[in-house]
Structure formats: structure tokens, C-alpha cells
Amino acid sequence: MGELFIVPTPIGNLADITYRAVAVLKSAELILAEDTRTSSKLLNHYEIKTPMQAYHMHNEHRKLDEVCSKLNAGMSIAIISDAGTPGISDPGFLLVRQALSLNIKVTCLPGPTALIPALVQSGLTSDRFIFEGFLPPKKGRNKRLQNIVNETRTLIFYESPHKLLKTLIQFSELFGADRTVAVSRELSKMFEETFRGKLSEAVDYFSAHPPKGEFVICVAGLQNK
């Protein structure tokens, strides 16, 4: 029986990969990568010569049986995404579930993901939190928000730059303009910065400084300022 390794890769800074991740990627017989061109930069940098195949949201359903038969036949396979931990707002979950249902060993290495540094450096309560990932743009968005409007744990969201301001305006209306927020941008990269303040101040700030790059929003829970 083979083994499926979930391997986190850097979210911006190439140095943020573990020794173990490099070793696992080198010793695996196959790497499934969300985008083989993106990942080849990382693999070349660390002189990882393992064959790669594309595994992304458009082919993941189709590939499940094929990948699981390879694992069943004894192959050691690693899955990586463009950045961070596969399965966290990235493909990975379906394969983990199917592999486990077939009693295939699954191991996720600890490593980079954007939500944890954003939460920990936000200054908001980090002992209890919920991760909402990307909110749906339209259908189901209000329901998701209504479910968390009275949430007391710190709330974490992923957001794209072109939707950031609209989302902050909506959060300000929903959670209240005085609710504390931390917006982290470009974590681990050259232009990393974190805005901390009230939601109304975040709206003003990002109205004056058009958002660029990748963002994580951490909102204080209710009575959790």
C-alpha cells in the first residue's frame, strides 16, 4: 500500500518550506501539482526532480480513481498546491477523503498556510477562532454571514484584492463599524503589511490605498475586542 502526503509549500517566501517537505517531495514517486508551471519554480529551486502531474479543481473529480489505484499499487504520492496547504481553500480534500475510504495512509505535513500567521499577528484572540475561507460572491453569501453575525470567536476570511473593499463595507454594516479588524496583505513577501483598527477605519484606509496582492481578514468576535 502506498502513501499520500499532503505537502504545504511557501505562500510567498521560497525559504518557508520545511526540510521534511523537501525530503518528502524528493522521495515521492509522483507529485500532483495544482499548476505544474508555478510549482516547477519551487521544485527547480530545491532540485526536486520527481515527476509532476496536474491536479486541480477542473480535473480533481476525474483523477480520483486513477490516483487512488496508483496509491493502492504501492506508489508514494505527494500533493501540492500553488501556495500554502492543499485542502485549505485549494484542492486536496476529495483525494484525502477517497484515499481514507480505501484505507490508504494519508499524512499531512505541518507547514505554511496564510490563515495562521494572519491570525497570530492580528493581535485578536487566537485561542478560539473560525475559518470561513472565501465567502461565496452572491448565492449563499448572506446566509453564511447571518450564521456568524453573533459569533464570539475570531473570524478569519480569505479575500481577493478587487473584492476587499466591498467586503469590508459589508462587514462594517453587519458586524458594526467599531468592530476590530486586522487585514494582512502579502504575508511573507516584500510588501507585507497588516492594517489593524476598526472596520470603519479599514474602509477609509483601503478606500485611500487601493488593495493590491493577497489578503487575509481577521475580524474580532462579538464582545471580543
Per CB under 6 A, does 60 bind ligand SAM? no
Amino acid at 67: V
Q: Which is nearer to ligand SAM, 43 or 216 (CB)?
A: 216
Per CB under 6 A, does 9 bind ligand SAM? no
CB of 38 to ligand SAM, least distance (A): 12
Amino acid at 221: G
Order the strands of the 154-159 sheet from edge to edge.
Answer: 129-134, 154-159, 215-219, 180-185, 193-198
Q: Which of 5, 55, 129, 158 binds ligand SAM (CB under 6 A)?
A: 158
Q: Which is nearer to ligand SAM, 84 or 221 (CB)?
A: 84
Per CB under 6 A, does 98 bind ligand SAM? no
Amino acid at 139: K
| Integer Cα distance of 9 and 41 in angstroms | 12
Q: Which of 24, 48, 83, 220 binds ligand SAM (CB under 6 A)?
A: 83
CB atoms under 10 Å from CB of 64, counted, come to 16
Letters for 11-40 (x = contact with ligand SAM by CB under 6 A, - = none) are xx----------------------------
Amino acid at 93: F
Amino acid at 82: D
Amino acid at 162: H
Q: Which is nearer to ligand SAM, 12 or 221 (CB)?
A: 12
CB atoms under 10 Å from CB of 153, counted, come to 17
CB of 134 to ligand SAM, least distance (A): 7
CB of 8 to ligand SAM, least distance (A): 7
Per CB under 6 A, does 181 bind ligand SAM? no
Per CB under 6 A, does 89 bind ligand SAM? yes
Per CB under 6 A, does 88 bind ligand SAM? yes
Per CB under 6 A, does 171 bind ligand SAM? no
Q: Which is nearer to ligand SAM, 2 or 216 (CB)?
A: 216
CA distances from 57 to 22, 37, 67, 105 (A): 24, 16, 15, 23
* Helical ranges in 8-76 per DSSP H: 19-27, 36-45, 60-72
| Integer Cα distance of 143 and 149 in angstroms | 10
| Contact residues: ligand SAM, CB under 6 A | 11-12, 81, 83-85, 88-90, 113-115, 158-160, 184, 186-189, 214-216
